Amino acid sequence: MSTAYRIGDYEFSSREVRDLLVAWAALGLAFTIFFPGGGPNVLALGAGIVVLLGVSLLTAGVAFLLHELAHKVVAVNYGQIAEFRADYNMLFLAVMSALLGFIFAAPGAVHHRGYLNEREHGHIAIAGPVMNLVLAAVFLPVYLGGIGLNLGLLVLLGQLGIIVNLFLAAFNLVPFGPLDGKTVIAWSKPVWGGTFLLSAVLTYIAWTTLDISII
């Protein structure tokens, strides 16, 4: 029988915990390779790889982890049985694509069962992108604090945390395939349009104004 872990009102099976940790670690590794521009550039970092891995786990890894947990929390609050399942083939693809200088990251999904209306489906779907927008706001004072204290590592942590989370919010709101946008737009076009526009504009501003230097 699978061991269950409970945090407040939310239960996690041992398989779910394992899948969440594997997805977090795999995406942290993938973004460690991706951020400098691919395999050869990572090797040029030398011992700096360890530092960048830590930054990647705290930014991209946490961004994906909390995005999926936000889906689960809202689903459970609507009476659903909900669990995250990692897609190991897609995690492998994320690492392999990062070696080539781009990244395709689809770590898995929260699967839930039970009756839901369109509004509830929409709330569950938009919870992930909203979590990423909140996380981007959390990383903003980290970035500003790093500048104020003249701490390059803190600046980098803030920069990557802001950009990755804004990008994930915008990307997941694209109304295509299994992405969250398709479900959100079916529930409310105004909510989808406002959230997607905000995410896309902020992503563009962050990408063009934050001067990131990895190596």
> Phi and psi dihedrals of 93, rounded to 5?
-65, -35
Helix axes 14-34 and 62-77, enclosed angle (nearest 10): 150
Q: Are 185 and 192 in contact (CB under 8 A)?
A: yes
Residue 14 has pLDDT above 90, yes or no: yes
pLDDT digits (tens, 9 = 90+) for 147-201: 999 898 999 999 999 999 999 999 999 998 888 999 999 999 999 999 999 999 9
pLDDT digits (tens, 9 = 90+) for 43-98: 777 778 889 999 999 999 999 999 999 999 999 999 999 999 999 999 999 999 99
pLDDT band at 1 (very low <50, low <70, confident <90, very high): very low
Write down the domain spans for the chain: 3-209
User: In the predicted model, what is the mean pLDDT of residues 17-23?
Assistant: 95
Which residues are catalytic, by number? 68
Beta strands (DSSP E) in the chain are: 4-7, 10-13, 81-86, 108-113
Full-prediction pTM beyond 0.75? yes
Q: Are 68 and 82 in contact (CB under 8 A)?
A: no
